[in-house]
Amino acid sequence: MRVRRYDDDYLILARRPGILAIVLAVLMFTMLALSLRALRGGETLTGVFLLVVAAVCAAGMVAFTSFQQVRFDRNAGIVESHIRGFFGSERAQVPLADIEAASLREGKGTKGRRYYQPTLLLRNPPGETFAVGKAFERYPEARVMAGLIEAWLRRAR
């Protein structure tokens, strides 16, 4: 995630789809064009194979490209997470007054890999957490993000 705005009133963190979506789109359209050419040339097996590759690229675009924004708004007194993907969007809000601190959650993902995710510790309900953005594989990146959030929250208190 990248910091889009950091001032007394707002902290806005955002993650945009990036280059992966562009690469998959170019690959998908290339495979579609090649499959149409192969099918028109009478090479049915090659054309069908290239259509399958194009479908896999399209599925990758759907699965891996989403826009995510976390907005800390001092004026409104909320933290809002907004995730927008191919199949819709999801919003979640937490009042700033309910946030006790920012911390890191550590866990194990697929294949036993460790991940670190900045989270907000909530006062109400006690012990609950609110995930902020994506999980990081490298501890230093996650620590910097959690420190940035904590510094902004301390400015509010």
Average pLDDT over residues 100-108: 86
Predicted confidence at residue 86, as pLDDT, reads 76
Average pLDDT over residues 41-61: 91
Q: What is the CATH number of domain 2-16+67-156?
A: 2.30.29
User: Which pLDDT band holds residue 51 (cuts at 50, 70, 90)?
Assistant: very high
User: Which pLDDT band holds residue 49 (cuts at 50, 70, 90)?
Assistant: very high
Predicted confidence at residue 138, as pLDDT, reads 75
Q: Are 74 and 9 in contact (CB under 8 A)?
A: yes
- Residue 17's contacts (CB-CB under 8 Å, 6 or more residues apart) are 64, 65, 66, 67
Greater pLDDT, 16 or 68: 68
Instruction: Dump pLDDT digits (tens) for 12-21.
Output: 988 877 788 8
Greater pLDDT, 140 or 136: 140
Contacts 24+ apart (CB under 8 A), 9-13: 9/73, 9/74, 9/75, 10/71, 10/72, 10/73, 10/74, 11/71, 11/72, 11/148, 11/149, 11/152, 12/69, 12/70, 12/71, 12/72, 13/69, 13/70, 13/71, 13/132, 13/133, 13/145
Residue 157, pLDDT > 60, answer no
Q: Which amino acid is at 56?
A: V
**Could you tell me the pTM of the whole model?**
0.71
Residue 42 backbone phi and psi in degrees, to 5 = 90, 5
Element (H, E) at 94: strand 88-95
